[in-house]
Amino acid sequence: MVDMDQPRDTALHSSLADMIATITKTFVIAHDQDSDEHLAQALVFNAGRLAWRMREQGVSTDFKTSLSDVVTDADRAAEQFVTGVISALRPEDGVLGEEGTHKPGTSGRTWVIDPVDGTYNFISGSDYWCSALALVEGDPADPDKVCFGAVHRPAMGYTWFGGKDIPTTRDGKALPTLENTSTELISMATYLNPPFIAEPALLNAWLSLAQGFLSWRMIGAGSVDLGGVADGTLGAYVQHTVQDWDWLPGRALVEGVGGTCIKVEAAGVTWCIAANPQAADEIATILRNLPPAN
């Protein structure tokens, strides 16, 4: 059950905060010798399961920037859990989270986290959502290196993990390298925010892209989409104005199967592209050939 009638303070209420503190302490004790790679996968698995259990019990929901941009107690609890663990086990690292966490570090590394990616799906009862994180070196907005990404989709039990130097796996099984394929033969995953339809340049850009694909998918969880590109269930991911936590975890997964992940400026915005190398080049060419935005 989701209660959307009563706004909540951004801080977790005391009983929930106490529960998260206990879960965090127990996790830290059990994982204090983990490698970064093992820790990342355990974090997204446990954050996703925490959010899942909270949804089953009922969560309260607040609106952020629009009726479709929402946050729940489960988002906040999962982010508090992940942040607490990283602060305890990797105290020199920074943390950047969708729900407001911004902890600078001294190591030059930052854990970029999205505790519940696809929150609108989450509150609607859909299974198309996940918990995701990436570890980067340098500024998350333009990292020197994306070390790896970890994405867990609770409903399916999948955990994707990988990076440019770490072959991507799904539940420990290596995924095949992406083969060069034209956009005409693959699907495109994207999300079209209704207010942007009123922007002629953006609408034209999206229509120009969409005509070149076999089919389109708009389901509303970027890291799940990118995991699908990595494992071949989706052909390409194309989206503009993407936040770091929606891009970096899945970018790492696609790079781990030999995919191309780039950003292109077009129609007055920045587009994120992830696909096999041939398709990524075709997408970038379409965007670069668009007329400039007024």
Residues 109 and 179: their CA atoms lie apart, in Å, by 32
CB burial string 108-146: b at 16+ within 10 A, e below: ebbbbbbbbbbbbbbbeeeebbbbbbbbbeeebeebeeb
pLDDT tens readout for residues 111-138: 999 999 998 899 899 999 999 999 999 9
Residues 266 and 232: their CA atoms lie apart, in Å, by 27
> Encoding tokens for residue 256?
């781990």
> Encoding tokens for residue 16?
């929930």
111, 134 contact by CB (below 8 A): yes
Burial label, 35 (beta-carbon count in 10 A; 0-12, 13-18, 19+): exposed
Burial label, 163 (beta-carbon count in 10 A; 0-12, 13-18, 19+): buried
Residues 153 and 12: their CA atoms lie apart, in Å, by 24
Q: Is 118 left (phi over 0), alpha (psi -120 to 50) or beta?
A: left
- Residue 61, pLDDT score: 56
What architecture is domain 13-172?
A: 2-Layer Sandwich (3.30)
Distance of CA 75 to the CA centre of its chain: 13
- Residue 101, pLDDT score: 87
Per-residue model confidence as pLDDT tens for the chain (294 residues): 344 333 444 455 678 889 999 999 999 999 999 999 999 999 999 999 999 988 877 656 555 555 455 568 888 999 999 999 999 999 999 999 987 789 999 999 999 999 999 988 998 999 999 999 999 999 999 999 999 999 999 999 999 999 999 999 999 999 999 999 999 999 999 998 887 878 899 999 999 999 999 999 999 999 999 999 999 999 999 999 999 999 999 999 999 999 999 999 999 999 999 999 999 999 999 999 998 877
CATH numeric code, 181-287: 3.40.190.80
Binding residues for Mg(2+) are 98, 114, 117, 246
123, 59 contact by CB (below 8 A): yes
- Residue 75, pLDDT score: 87
Q: Is the pTM of this model over 0.85?
A: yes
pLDDT tens readout for residues 59-101: 565 555 554 555 688 889 999 999 999 999 999 999 999 877 8
- What integer best gives the mean pLDDT of the chain? 91
Query: What are the residue ranges spanned by the domains of the chain?
Result: 13-172, 181-287
Strands (E), 138-223: 145-153, 158-163, 166-170, 173-174, 187-189, 215-217
Q: What angle, rounded to 10 degrees, do the helices at 14-30 and 36-57 form? A: 150
- Residue 98, pLDDT score: 82
Q: What is the DSSP annotation of 116-130? A: EESHHHHHTT-S--E
Binding residues are 98, 114, 117, 246
The edge-to-edge listing of strands for the beta sheet with 69-72 is: 2-3, 59-66, 69-72
